Amino acid sequence: MELGLSTQNDFTFFLIVLVIILGALIATRKLLKVEFPYFFMGVLGVIVGIFIGNLVGKSLGFLPGYYGKWLPIIIEVLIAVAIFDLFIGQSKSVAKFFSNWLRVENEISNMEIIIDTSALIDGRIEELASTGFIFGKFVVPKFVLLELQAIADSEDDLKRVKGRKGLDVLANLQRNRQVDIEITDERLKDKDKVDNKLVKIAWERKGKILTVDYNLGQVAQIQGVEVLNLNALAVAVKPQLIPGENLLVRVVQKGKEKHQGVGYLEDGTMVVVDGGDKFVGEDIECLVVRIYQTASGKMIFVEPKK
List the domain boundaries for the chain.
34-93, 111-236, 240-304
- Phi then psi for 212, rounded to 5 degrees? -120, 5
pLDDT tens, residue by residue, 156-186: 888 899 999 999 999 998 888 888 888 888 6
pLDDT band of residue 1 (cuts 50, 70, 90) is very low
With residues binned 3-state (H G I as helix, E B as strand, rest as coil), the percentages for the chain, rounded to 5, are 55, 20, 25
Question: Can you tell me the distance from the alpha carbon of 41 to that of 92, in angstroms, rounded to the nearest whole number?
Answer: 10
pLDDT band of residue 299 (cuts 50, 70, 90) is confident
240-304: CATH topology = OB fold (Dihydrolipoamide Acetyltransferase, E2P) (2.40.50)
Strand 260-264 to strand 208-211: parallel, antiparallel, or no bridges (unpaired)? Answer: unpaired
pLDDT tens, residue by residue, 200-246: 888 888 889 999 888 888 888 899 888 888 887 877 776 677 888 88
pLDDT tens, residue by residue, 106-151: 555 567 889 999 999 988 888 888 777 777 788 888 888 888 999 9
Q: Does the structure show a pLDDT above 50 at 104?
A: no
Question: Can you tell me the distance from the alpha carbon of 91 to that of 98, in angstroms, rounded to the nearest whole number?
Answer: 11
193-197, long-range: CB within 8 Å, 24+ apart, which pairs?
194/117, 194/143, 194/144, 194/147, 195/219, 197/141, 197/143
**What would the mean pLDDT of 180-197 be, rounded to a whole number?**
76
pTM above 0.75, yes or no: no
Q: Does the structure show a pLDDT above 90 at 38?
A: no
Q: Does the structure show a pLDDT above 90 at 65?
A: no
What residues pair up with 287 in beta bridges, in sequence order?
246, 303
Can you tell me whether residue 231 is helix, strand or coil?
helix
Counting residues of the chain whose pLDDT is more than 90, the rounded percentage is 13
Q: Does the structure show a pLDDT above 60 at 33?
A: no
Domain 111-236 carries which CATH code?
3.40.50.1010
